[in-house]
Amino acid sequence: YININARSTFLKYKIRYCVQTLSPVPPAAFISVSGECPLHLDEVRHFLTLCPELSLGWFVEGRLVAFIIGSLWDQDRLTNDALTLHKPHGTTVHIHVLAVHRTFRQQGKGSILMWRYLQYLRCLPYVRRAVLMCEDFLVPFYQKSGFKVQGPCEITVGPLTFIEMQCPVRGHAFMRRNSGC
């Protein structure tokens, strides 16, 4: 039996340390599969400061290989404010980024980390759902984790458009998944 709260607290602070010092985590290694930086370093630090309990990382031999950064949101749909704000009384977790180090991609780590993150969110009594925005080609990936398409996202970044997705987390506990993380 693993106490997820103690373990995730340790991981959150280790993520913060790795991201703040940037050794052993070169930020370029976490550029998204589309070639864009999913979250700038100052934004990662911002959310780790405001809501470290909504971040989770996967470490292999002391090295950060994947992480999720989230914050609370209090509206039905994402708006531009969701990119920078943390709403402490919100019941929705906005997943800003799921990043996997490029040398660890295509090994299922992103799926496993998302599954574990959603399980962790199910333990938080104030969280009702998780939302995210992604490019079209990532929709099937997130659907496999239980996310449903809500429609086009209001947020755009230059010419990039996104699909908004959500996953209910309240009352949806699942069996433990043997993942090795």
Q: Of 41, 50, 85, 124, which is the active-site residue?
A: 85
Q: Of 48, 54, 72, 98, which is the active-site residue?
A: 98
101 catalytic residue (yes or no):
no
126 catalytic residue (yes or no):
no
71 catalytic residue (yes or no):
yes
d(C-alpha 149, C-alpha 164), whole Å? 6
Question: What is 69-130 written as a DSSP string?
Answer: EEEEE-SSS--GGGGT---TT-SEEEEEEEEE-GGGTTSSHHHHHHHHHHHHHHT-TT--EE
- Identify the three-state secondary structure at position 26: coil
121 catalytic residue (yes or no):
no
Q: Of 8, 55, 71, 145, which is the active-site residue?
A: 71
d(C-alpha 42, C-alpha 46), whole Å? 6
Angle in degrees, CA 108, 25, 177, rounded to 5 = 25
Q: Of 39, 96, 118, 138, which is the active-site residue?
A: 96
83 catalytic residue (yes or no):
no
Question: Known catalytic residues?
Answer: 71, 85, 96, 98, 142
